[in-house]
Amino acid sequence: MKLLDADRPPVQVRTAEEIAARRRFWGWVLYGVLVLAAAALGSLGGLLFVYNTDLPQVEDLEHYRPISNTELFDDQGRVIGSFALQRRVVARFEDYPPVLREAVISIEDKNFEKHWGVNVWRIVGAAYRDLISGGKVQGASTLTMQLSRNLFLSPERTYGRKLEEILLAIQIERRFTKAQIFTLYANQIFLGHGVYGFETGAEFYFGKHARDLTLPEAALLAGLPKAPSSYSPINNPERALRRRNLVINSMLEDGKVTAAEATAAKEEPIRLNLQSDPNSLAPYYVEEIRRYLEKRYGSDQVHQGGLRVYTSLDMDMQKAANKAVLDGLAAYEHRHGWKGRLENVLLEGQTLEKYHNPDWDETVEPGSYVHGLVTQVSAGVAVVKFGAYSASLGPADAAWTGRRIPQLLAPGDVAYVKVISLGDDNQARVTLEQDSGVQGALVAIDNATGDIKAMVGGRDFDTSKFNHATQAQRQVGSSFKPYVYTAAIDQGATPDDVVLDAPVTFTTPSGPYIPHNYDERFEGNISLRRALANSRNIPALEIAQKVGIATVISYAHRFGISEEIPQYLPIALGAADATVLEQTSAYSTFPNDGVRLLPRYITKVTDYDGRLLEENYPDVRDVISQRTARIMTSMLREVVLHGTGVAASRLPYALAGKTGTTNDFTDAWFIGFSPNLTCGVWVGFDEKKSLGNRETGARAALPIWMEFMQATLTGHDPGQFQPPPPLQPSALVQKVDTPDSAPTADESH
């Protein structure tokens, strides 16, 4: 049905004024929009200008060098230490294998190869989530944005910083290739535990180079940058495992691995091969080098500049030295019985679960001595934990104490143990040891170069940084006597000349001086050779008086003893002070035909780019004549063959040396040498207290020296000493024809 005209709505007719007014309204709206748009664009342009003005210049990245370790190498190019604010080894793009690159890109930035530094949709999505959640801006960063943040920006989470991050990322993408960007990122990223960069991470966590990583290992490292502490395989192994498997799943989704490869990789448990701080091998030696380098090059260059320091140390000799000293101190502890007085963490208010000992951060291997935590004690067994290992300590493992386990240990005790063996199940076998405070020091020097091949400055660097090898001035006892005999030989005496070993009173400025021998006996007329071999006191004093104590002291200084020595006769028996390093260097003169090479720590130093900064050559000092040196070597050889060092005659090498013991047995020494190596050993307490009755140099120090020399010389031929020249009777002392009888092994002071 048609609608009637009356049913239709009336047509509204706009007048010309209304149309004009409407047009003016929309004109103003459009104008306002344009003004706002212009203002927004201007503000944005100004903002971009301001940020670009304040932003770092990415061109500097062409010459960028991250903070890098200063590394120390032994004489065969093996790393023995490092100095760094950040633990980092810089690698090249080709050093990072495809499996690692793909793992990182899959989990961190899937479109890395395609985008121009920014993933717009990810940023918008992240910003929206932050707005509705009320949180701070975070996430959505590409690898390039992460790089710009790590290199140039602060870690604060603000929109302003995010904008700076974007602008820098765009600039970086314009100037550098994807391979260059990935390399910069891979060298800069933090992976926890002080480790920076994937090459360093591979070495720290797995003990291998990045190029050798397997799929599970690469995936674990790739998962760390998001939250290194939370996903640490050391502190949070379960979370690390889940994160690693998430990376593998992401690689599967991206077609980087097959389903079979992904399944096999996820079934693999996390197997770490943690590498300890290399400084722990020779900490006292490394500390000496650090002091020298900082004094010469400055702290910043040493800790950030990536120096390469080539040292004289021999890693194998150092390991032998560490073991010899600790074994010798353990033998001393066994001789003197159980003292107890162990630290107990429970009594100090700590818990068993949270206790951590510095020893556990170092590599533990059979032969190591570590502090372990006693967690359980029963009638016959104590359970001891150290690091990831646990051991059951039974009666046989503490037999030397003569006590039962409950009498020795309680839960919470920090026990000192020797590691006998380590099992794959983190079970270990240990023996109970003791640390009563006795200290030991050892220095080994190459005779031909003066190179320090090994140095032990004390029992435990974590407990005391004091270096007993270089800082402790200790009385040298009878190890001083070779200087007395050297002065006599240099003035024409011969080893077969005789001196009277009989009661005597010396007149000194301070009054009468009545010396005695260690065994309280006298042997009458005795040859110089036998007097030195048996370390007779009175003959040494007689000779010192004949040549003059001032002359003897001048010889000691020529040998390198730096301490001021008073001019009184008992000095001839070793009342002078010296360091182990000085004594060892001095004795190297004898097998070296009378010349001494100053001890050398460093052969050369280069900078980060390989430019030579310093090179050190052997520094030779003439001390005595070849004739005197060879005669003294033959006399010191007699000490080992028939004298106070006779125990060393069991070693099948040409060896010579001298024992030393001070009054009240406070210091025990043995300084000895082969044709190519000189080694000095000292044992004592920090305070001047007795080691105990009959703890002579032959008993406390010589076994350490023997263990070290045996380990060092096995498989090597050190050669023979050069024979002394033909000898003529001297006028200094009278010669008799009575042959030497077999001397005792007792030692004089």
Q: Which residues are catalytic?
A: 108, 478
Q: Which residues pair with 659 in a beta bridge?
A: 670
Which residues, other chains included, contact 351 with Cβ-Cβ below 8 Å and sequence gap of 6+?
A: 345
Provide the 8-state DSSP code for 601.
S
Residue given tokens 């035909």 in the structure block: 593
Which backbone phi and psi does 230 adopt, to 5 degrees? -65, -35
Coil, strand or helix at 47: helix
Nearest CA to 202 out of 114, 329, 104, 317 is that of: 104
Q: How many residues does the chain have?
A: 749
**Taking a C-beta distance cutoff of 8 angstroms, is the pair 310, 603 a contact?**
yes
H helices present in 548-625, as ranges: 549-558, 580-587
Give the amino acid at 14.
R
CA 408 to CA 396: how far, in whole Å?
Answer: 13
CA 126 to CA 24: how far, in whole Å?
Answer: 42
The angle subtended at Cα 637 by Cα 743 and Cα 702, nearest 5°, is 80
The kind and range of the H/E element at 42 are: helix 16-54
Residue given tokens 């103003």 in the structure block: 28
CA 527 to CA 548: how far, in whole Å?
Answer: 19
- Residue 690's CB: how many other CB atoms inside 10 A? 14
Q: Which residues pair with 393 in a beta bridge?
A: 382
Orientation angle between helical segments 215-222 and 198-206, nearest 10 degrees:
120
**Taking a C-beta distance cutoff of 8 angstroms, is the pair 289, 72 a contact?**
yes
**Taking a C-beta distance cutoff of 8 angstroms, is the pair 441, 372 a contact?**
no
Q: Would the CA dihedral through 194, 198, 200, 206 be positive or negative?
A: positive
